[in-house]
């Protein structure tokens, strides 16, 4: 996977727009497609494109409501790596995960979208895309296959089998049909080995009929 790191860790910005979206997370090196149509988020994307192309993905807290719902304190910044404008005024973009952050402070809104002061210090390890490994890859892949069969998830197994552990785990965290709480727990887990262990546990719980929750995505 091509590295998304076009700047040094110490050059990460001190301010970041955030996009609260339940059930949607992004992790370093993984691509997340987004369809943007609300005016405030169109403003956010236009502002990001005029500056450093970075947007912070965060999830609202469970049962959060309102125009500015409380959000989890851990999110992940992504870089807009491609985008196109549609005839009906939407922006379709691809966000490539860069580095996780903790919200140190929420700043006043700008043009309707929310902004934060991110604390990147806990997540310098996100810049090492080769660190860590899956402890028992054979068991992990077996759990993944069972989970996908149960959920009728189509997976390109040949391609998946060739991926390194880091890319594989982060890709699955972003794109498997897991509940919002499960995705948040995976996002907050440091180390590919620990994240893989948690994911395998979630998939095996599903195999025993304890299904991870579903989530509704809204843009």
Relative orientation angle of helices 192-207 and 180-188, to the nearest 10 degrees:
160
pLDDT band at 6 (very low <50, low <70, confident <90, very high): low
Which among 28, 25, 32, 22 is positioned nearest to 6, based on CA atoms? 28
Q: Is residue 218 predicted with pLDDT exceeding 50? A: no
Q: Is residue 184 predicted with pLDDT exceeding 60? A: yes
pLDDT of residue 206: 76
Which among 108, 105, 84, 106 is positioned nearest to 36, based on CA atoms? 84
Cβ neighbours of 107 (radius 10 Å): 13
pLDDT of residue 42: 98
Q: Is residue 219 predicted with pLDDT exceeding 60? A: no
Task: Give CA–CA dist 55/5, Å, rounded.
Answer: 14
pLDDT band at 2 (very low <50, low <70, confident <90, very high): very low
pLDDT of residue 89: 95
Relative orientation angle of helices 192-207 and 165-175, to the nearest 10 degrees:
50
pLDDT band at 180 (very low <50, low <70, confident <90, very high): very high
- Select the more confidently predicted residue: 206 or 53: 53
Q: Is residue 140 predicted with pLDDT exceeding 60? A: yes
């Amino acid at each position: 996977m091509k590295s998304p790191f076009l700047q040094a860790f110490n050059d990460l910005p001190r301010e970041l727009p955030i996009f609260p979206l339940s059930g949607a997370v992004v992790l370093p090196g993984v691509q997340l497609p987004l369809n943007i149509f609300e005016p405030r988020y169109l403003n956010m994307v236009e502002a990001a494109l005029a500056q450093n192309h970075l947007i912070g993905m965060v999830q609202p807290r469970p049962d959060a409501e309102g125009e500015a719902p409380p959000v989890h304190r851990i999110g992940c910044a992504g870089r807009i790596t491609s985008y196109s404008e549609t005839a009906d005024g939407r922006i379709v973009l691809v966000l490539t995960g860069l580095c996780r952050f903790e919200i140190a402070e929420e700043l006043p809104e700008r043009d309707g979208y929310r902004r934060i002061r991110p604390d990147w210090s806990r997540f310098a390890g996100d810049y090492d895309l080769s660190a860590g490994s899956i402890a028992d890859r054979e068991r992990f892949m077996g759990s993944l296959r069972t989970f996908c069969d149960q959920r009728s998830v189509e997976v390109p197994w040949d391609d998946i089998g060739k991926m390194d552990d880091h890319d594989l785990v982060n890709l699955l965290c972003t794109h498997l049909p897991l509940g919002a709480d499960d995705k948040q727990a995976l996002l907050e887990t440091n180390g590919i080995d620990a994240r893989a262990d948690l994911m395998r546990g979630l998939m095996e719980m599903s195999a025993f009929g304890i299904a991870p929750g579903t989530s509704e995505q809204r843009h």
